[in-house]
Each structure stands twice: as C-alpha cells, then as structure tokens.
Chains A and B, each alone.
Chain A
Amino acid sequence: MGSHAKAAKLASAFLVNLKGNEMKKVVAVLLISLLTACASQTKKSDAEVEDKSAGAKPATEAPRATTEAAPTLNPLTDPNNILSRRSVYFEFDSFVVKDEYKSLVGAHAGYLRSNPNARVLLQGNTDERGSREYNLALGQKRADAVRYAMTLSGAKESQIESVSLGEEKPRASGHDEASWTENRRVDIRYQGE
C-alpha cells in the first residue's frame, strides 16, 4: 500500500507538470507503471532502471513502452527514476544552480551523453514581479546556467536548446512568496514530449 500510494503521488505530481496534449501520450505509460508497481510491490533502484535503458533505447521511442513489460520502462517517465524529475528551482534574483540539483542535472547530462540522438529543451521561468521582457532575459540566464552545467557533465551543446518563458507561464498562479518560489524554475523537456 505504501509504495502504491507513493507511486501514485509521484505520478500525479508528474502529471501536473504536463500539458493536455502531452498527457494523453504519457497517461498510458504511467498507468502501466502504476499497475506494475502495485503488482510487484517492489521498488527498483534508480541505477538499475537507468542502466537497463540508457544507451539501448533512444528517448524518442518512449511511447512504445506502453505495450511492453516493465523492464523496458522509459527512464524519462518512470516516476521512480531521477530522470522523471524535470524542474530545477532557483533562489530569488539568482541564476546559480543550487547544489541540491547537481545530481538531477548530472543525471540528465548522463542520459544525453548516452543517447546522442536525444534533444532537450530547457525552459527558464521567473516570478511575476517586474518587467516582462527583463524577466524573459532572466529566465534565459537560468536556462543557460542549467545548459552550462549539463555541458560540463558531458552533454553536447547541440543536444540542448535553452529558452525562456519569463513570467508568462507560471505553474503557481498566486501572488505570494509560495507561488513566486514555485515559479523561479527551469523545466527540462525532451524532444517529442
């Protein structure tokens, strides 16, 4: 029950991060993974899953996982895999990638290194205060900072496009510190997602 609930929570957190059109593609994957998690009641280690598919399976073939068995789960969408975590958060007025996100950024860089055909879009975001265009540039700085960290970990420049959404696509719609904290963020999106 515990692992079931945890998987469901992870899955719903992941779903929140997705748009409607992406949902359809991913929902099936998640349902399978939830069922699998329920059936086995065991947790795979991140490393195990990562080893199995990294290098062997290009990211663009992700949807095929819906018709196959658990061992070929797409690491990018497996809620138990660190690669399913896609957001890097920033301090107020900062574009420094904090230490707590180094492993996350490193894992994605590793995936890109092992999957030379994979492409990723980094979308920088800011909170709502101030000039929209200046915030667009600030979001770009954040996305560039994550891109730089990924290239230091071996990903190729050509695999990464960093762009900014500025303050235009807030995940949290409130006008308070909690919402602003949630919105100071870079999202990692793979091509085809």
Chain B
Amino acid sequence: MTGIIYAFPRIPLKVILMQVRLRRFYSYAVVLFLWLAGANAYATLNIEIFGGGATQIPIAIVPFAGEEKISQSITPVVAADLQRSGLFRLVDPAGLRPHEPVEVSYPDWVNRGAGALVIGSTTILAGGQVAIRFQLLDVAKQEQLMSYAETVPAEQLRAAAHRIADMIYEKLTGDVGVFSTRIAYVVKQGKKYSLQVADADGYNAQPVIEYTEPIISPSWSPDGTKLAYVSFENKKPVVYVQHLATRARKAVANFRGSNSAPAWSPDGSKLAVVLSLMGGSQIFLINADGGGLQRLTQSSGIDTEPSFSPDGRYIIFTSDRGGSPQIYRMPVTEGVSRSAERLTFEGSYNVSPRYSPDGKSFTFIHRGGGGFNVAIQDLATRQVQLLTDSRFDESPSFAPNGRIILYATEIKGRGILSAVSSDGRTRQQLSTQAGDIREPAWGPMRRLQN
C-alpha cells in the first residue's frame, strides 16, 4: 500500500481495546510436525497459546487402552485440539488409567481438579481397521455424558480423533466444534509459491498448486470441494477455480486488465470478483464456471475485497470512494449500484472485511497508531473491538463456528499464521520453520469425512 500511514486524524477512538491478555497465564508450546507433501520434508509447526478465558473447563483425558499399538494415538490429538480452543485446561491423569466407567474412582478426579473425564480404548481388527470407543464423564455429577464407538481405517485415525474432539467440545460448550475443518494458505519458500490445504491443526498439509509466481486470495467454495484463487503466472492477476479432488482448474476471470479478490456466493453458484476491465477496480459477479459477467459496483475509485452475507443478499467490500479505504455494504441486486452504505468511520484505513458466519458482525483490518490489526464490528450496534496489538496483520477469516479468526501476521520479517478468539481472549501462533506463510482462509464445516 502507500497511503494514509501517517495521516490519522486525532479522532477519539470509540474502539474498545480488548484486554488482549498477554499475561501468559497459560503459555504452551505444542510442537507438531507439518508434513509438506511431495517435498518429502518435515517442517515444524509451533502452536503457542497466549491468554485464555477465566472459565476454562478442566478436563482429564486418559490415554486410551491399546492406542500405543496403533499408528496414530488418539488422545494426544484430542487433547491438543481442545487445548487450542482456549476453552479447556488439561488435567494430568498422573498415573490413573481407567478405561471403563466401572474402573473410574470419581473422588480421585475431584482431587485432581478435573471437571470432565475422557476414557476409552482402541482395538486393531482383522484387516487393519481400528475400533475406537470412548466415554465422556461428568466428575462432579458422577455420570456419563456421552458414549461413542466407531471403526475406521488406520489412515483415518487423525480424522477420527478430530471428530471425537468435536463431540467433546460440543457436549461441554454447547457450541459447534471446528476441529474437523481445513484451512488454506500460501507458503513462499525461496522463489516458490505453494497454495496448501491442511487440517485445522496444521497437519496433513497438501499442496494444491505450486508456482514460481505469486498466488493470493484463496477462497473456499461453500461445499469445501473447490478453491478460487488469484495467480500471477501469466504476468498479471487471473482468477482460477480449482477442484481439490481432481485438481482440474479453470481460469474463470481472465479479462483484459487485472482480475482478483474472488468470493463465493453462499449457494456456490456465483463468484464476486474484482476486475479492471471497465476502468478502475470494480466488483463484478460471474458464474462459478466463468460465464455471465454482471457489474455490481460503479464508483470512480477502488472497490475491492467483496464478502457475501451468509444469506447472500448483501456484500461488504473495501472502497476508497470517500477518500480513504473504508468498508461499505450494498445489496446484491440485479443491477449495478452507484451507492453503498458506509460501515466504518474510525481511522483512515479499514480493509479486508469478512462477514461472520451468523451474519451479525464482520472482521476486518484496522490501521491504528500501532499498526495494522484485526478488528471486529457488530453490524447492529456498530461497536468495534480491536482483537490484536501486532504490527502487520492481514487477511482475517472466521472459523465456521464464528469463535476464532485466523489471520496472517509477521514476526521478524517473516509471515506466520495466527488465530484469535472472536472475543479477543485467546491467541495462538502457528508457524513453520521454513518459509513465509500468508493469505490464510478457513474452510467450511466438513462433517462427512472422506
């Protein structure tokens, strides 16, 4: 960018600075391994958690019977998932190893401070499949909250562990778990750009496409089967849609000039894209296969970064039509619109808006005195909360349950991924040892595995 950096008017900010709690009550460093498929190389993914709400649920997870014999233990994955959510505190089983409800001595767990207890077992069946069973127990009430059993192929043990974490999370918080979802992001390593898709915990990273020219703005189709993105492989930005399973891809916006900022309509039938085809950078609608060009915005300035409301009736976008980049909303109707409702007023640089999954708020990047930060604004009350205090945050996107916002930030000149809870209380850093990571996008819910 070039602009506006030192030009902030001294307006008293109504922005509420969240108590970004860097007190490091709970500071964990969970070292995971990110398999860079195809490269046959391992890079380390560190997840560091800062802060944590006052009301964390103390949970003890007993290693399942027999899980040391299977290729992927279940309970470490479940524990890491729950811990990363910021809503749980792990209680050490300290030698106790019950695997059946009848083996549980509740007073022992009360003494350890556990509120919930997870026990279970894994059994390798003939043919290599693994039978998994677990129980979730309420320690105070001394009763079973849930019981579950399933049989999976060995290569789906991590997926099964994420499902179990989702079930526990949902039972204890009443909210939808997102541990079975995926994220997309771009890794720059040397001169190579790689668009990758990984599980929400950073494991199982697979390159979607690799190129020696930049790739930006990945966007998930609502059904999670396709990614739209912008590639510079042809000396200019062109929008592609790529099917993840077949790897087939198509240039869906390759008009004269620049083509960028793809956003899927909630029904997956259309894409909002930004084209310079008719002068300036303006927002258009195209069909998901590239046909049916239709102009949406008409201004003399920049209109970019569209995001659809969950009901598909509105888009929010960045525009400099008022002199500085701000966020606007307009209805998606049949015709082109010259007018839009301005949503942001604090500061002179508000960009990269994304609707929350419930449509009640949006996240965006706000430039304040300290840098570019992730913020969230309530659409009804117009109240703004700053969620981070770093210097160069970019590209925020909501987890499909709306509880976490994934974004790119920078440490020592290198791009890393971070996540912040949408109440600002918990933050995580995800980083690989090698490469520069940017442009994260959190994928949709994926409850049917493989």
Given A121-B236, A130-B349, A137-B274, verify A90-B2 contact (CB < 8 Å).
yes
Asked if B81 is at the interface of the complex by the 8 Å CB criterion, the answer is: no
Asked if B322 is at the interface of the complex by the 8 Å CB criterion, the answer is: no
Q: Which of A92, A163, A164 contacts B2 (CB 8 A)?
A: A92
Cβ–Cβ < 8 Å partners of B216 in chain A: 132-133, 136, 166, 168
User: Across the two chains, which residue of chain A brings its CB closest to B6?
Assistant: A92
User: Across the two chains, which residue of chain A brings its CB closest to B413?
Assistant: A175
Q: Which of A132, A140, A168 contacts B276 (CB 8 A)?
A: A140
User: Could you tell me if A163 and B258 are in contact, using CB atoms closer than 8 angstroms?
Assistant: yes
Chain A nearest CB, measured from B164 CB (Å): 37
A-B pair count, CB < 8 Å, reads 128
Chain A interface size range:
35 or more
Complex CA distance for A126 and B302, rounded to whole angstroms: 15
Asked if A78 is at the interface of the complex by the 8 Å CB criterion, the answer is: no
Asked if A131 is at the interface of the complex by the 8 Å CB criterion, the answer is: yes
User: Could you tell me if A164 and B235 are in contact, using CB atoms closer than 8 angstroms?
Assistant: no
User: Could you tell me if A93 and B5 are in contact, using CB atoms closer than 8 angstroms?
Assistant: yes
User: Could you tell me if A133 and B280 are in contact, using CB atoms closer than 8 angstroms?
Assistant: no
User: Could you tell me if A92 and B3 are in contact, using CB atoms closer than 8 angstroms?
Assistant: yes
Q: Which residues of B contact A (CB under 8 A)?
A: 1-5, 7, 214, 216-217, 232, 235-237, 256-258, 260-261, 274, 276, 279-281, 302, 304-305, 318, 325, 349, 351-352, 365, 367, 372, 392, 394-395, 413, 438-439
**Contacts beyond the supplied A93-B5, A131-B394, A163-B237: 13 A-B pairs with Cβ under 8 Å:** A127-B2, A129-B372, A130-B349, A133-B261, A133-B274, A136-B274, A137-B280, A137-B302, A140-B257, A163-B236, A163-B257, A164-B236, A169-B214
Q: Which residues of A contact B (CB under 8 A)?
A: 90-94, 121, 123, 126-127, 129-138, 140-141, 144, 161-169, 175, 180, 184, 189
What are 30 A-B pairs at a CB distance below 8 A? Answer: A92-B2, A92-B5, A129-B5, A130-B1, A130-B394, A131-B1, A131-B305, A131-B318, A131-B325, A131-B352, A132-B394, A132-B395, A133-B260, A134-B1, A134-B325, A136-B274, A136-B281, A137-B274, A138-B302, A140-B280, A162-B257, A163-B236, A163-B258, A163-B276, A164-B237, A164-B258, A168-B214, A168-B232, A175-B413, A184-B2
